[in-house]
Amino acid sequence: MIERKKEMSRDRVSRLVSWGHWFAFFNGFLAMIIGVRYIETIGAPDSWIGWGYLIISTLGHFSFLAFIVYLVVLFPITLILPYSKILRGLAAVAATISLCILLYDTIIYDDYGLHLSPFVFDIAWADLNALLQGTSYIVTPLGLIILELTAANYLWKRIESIRKSNYGYKVVIFIGCCFVSSHLIHIWADAADIQEITRLDDAYPLSYPATARSFMESHGIEKSQTNTAEHHIQSSLNYPIAPLQCQTSHHPNMLVIAIDGFRADLLDQNTMPFLHQYAQQNHYFNQHLSGGNVHRSGMFSLLYSLQGSYINANDLNYRSPVLTQQLKQQGYALAHFAPQMALSHPLAIYQDFESHLQDTDSGIAAADIKAIETFTQWQLQQNAAWFALINLQSPDSYDTPIGFLGIETVKPQHELKPAQKVLFNQYRQSLNFIDKQLAKLLSEIPDDTLVIITGVSGKVFTSNNDEPRSNLSPANVKVPLIINWSGNQYAKTVDYPTSHNGIVPTLMTQMLNCNNKASDYSSGESLLQPSSASWTYVGDDQVFGIYQEDEITVIDRHGKYRIYNKDYTQQLRKKISAPELIEVMREGRRFYHH
């Protein structure tokens, strides 16, 4: 009798376990349907390779997630309380909650470009009303719980016939093959840099596809070339959002001088006497921030006028800035003058320019001199209006030409280490060299030329080349901005905050007579009035800072953040400001949404 009861108990548990597997498979199928929303966000593949991988990975991933939920939640209860009515009710509730979480994740991913995590949930909670609109957040869970209860009862009543059909092991083998195959395909795609596949890496929650590096390292093989770039959402970028409406008969020459490593606090009478006086005589923005802390992100914000989170947008590998597109369309001759190293940029940022790159074998300072000389000769040969970009890089490498006498050393205003003091004064010598070059250059251009002088980034005094990449202090991002409006002296000092993202809207509206809203093609607003935003984004898509009036928040790609005071000298113990971060996230998705 006892043996009979044990046998019946084992049979009941066996039936419940079998039922649980089929119920998990059913919910994996529902999760796949919900998962279509992720594809709508990132954009469907363009090739059969992409579609093949997407189908296989979707089948494997969501089935695996459903099985994990079953294994963690339902399987232990099956052993403790092997009663079908209780288990069916609990399973329906657990499945409904899981699918609602998945649905909520699709909403957050579409709006922020991030999956749920404690950090993201904390931010999204403050934005709950905007995310959950209408009554769907009430109707959907009710509909799901009814569907789950119906499915649970249906499967339980037919579990015996399903078990006899022997389809179970075939389904397990098929799903297992999809799961393993998706990882093997991804290893190949990562090694061969097949972006049609690797761009889907972050599409699904809790997705960690195997990479060539992890696979090879686990087998003791070193990958000769590893692609360290992160793969982000690569849906089609609508840039500009609306066609540009620009028409002007006035075509002044325009000269943009962008200086790498140009700190705002050293534009003084002793270090740069010419430019200091020039700034007082023209439109000088003394609270200006670059959009980046290194050359790549600084130039990106200067010419594209987009938030740095777009820096790896796939479309920008072949789409030039709207500013240069419009200049070219209006008949401008465009040219770029810089040291050879300045062209190492993955985007189509210089696509519309005629490039004049100078050899750096004799040093960066010598290349800067040659770039200015080449520009002077070039502009004398132009018969039509021109737009020139001169990128000078001496200050960023503390370089001066051989025989340059320079200026006397001074004591730094801020406390510096001994090695930093040496770099500080060498840096001043480089700025003084640039000052003399600018004095000569600006005396030789036509009077009706619009001149913009600014920094690509600021400068921190270190010999470690990696430090500036993670340093988002004002020293590394606050740069001068001086504008001479077509030879007309306009002495005005602007004290409100501005950034590189406002330069393109200013030129588009003031010089090219574009009627579009700045938001159609830019993350910024015109420099001629205070920005309506209470924050400024600085950095790229890996590490970025949010500059506000009294604090600076630095966030890495994992969601870890640190908050500093406005001088970057003290770390504050406080929570991140949710409203501003929500605005940053939305701006980072805005050009994908239309």
pLDDT of the residue at 593: 59
One DSSP character per residue, 406-464 reads -------SS---HHHHHHHHHHHHHHHHHHHHHHHHHTSS-TT-EEEEEESS-----S-
Which structure tokens are listed for 77?
Answer: 């209860």
Please report, as a single letter, which amino acid is at residue 61: H
**Bridge partner residues of 357 (DSSP):** 338
Q: Which residues of the chain have pLDDT under 70?
A: 1-10, 126-137, 212-235, 342-346, 487, 558, 593-594
* CATH of the domain spanning 254-319+326-512: 3.40.720.10
For the segment 312-341, what is each residue's pLDDT rounded down to a tens digit? Answer: 887 888 899 999 999 999 999 999 999 987
pLDDT of the residue at 224: 40
List all residues 6 or more positions away from 112 whose beta carbon is below 8 Å from its beta carbon: 120, 123, 124, 582, 585, 586, 588, 589
CA 392 – CA 262 distance, rounded (Å):
10
CA 74 – CA 155 distance, rounded (Å):
16
CA 340 – CA 420 distance, rounded (Å):
28
pLDDT of the residue at 429: 96
Place of tokens 């050359």: 295
- Domain locations in the chain as residue ranges: 2-218, 254-319+326-512
For the segment 411-428, what is each residue's pLDDT rounded down to a tens digit? Answer: 887 778 888 888 999 999
Q: What is the DSSP letter of 70?
A: I
SS percent in the chain: helix, strand, coil, step 5: 50, 10, 35
**Bridge partner residues of 127 (DSSP):** none
pLDDT of the residue at 422: 86
Query: Residue-wise over 501-534: b if at least 16 C-beta within 10 A, else e?
Result: bbbbbbbbbbbbebebebbbbbbbbbbeeebebe
pLDDT of the residue at 292: 93
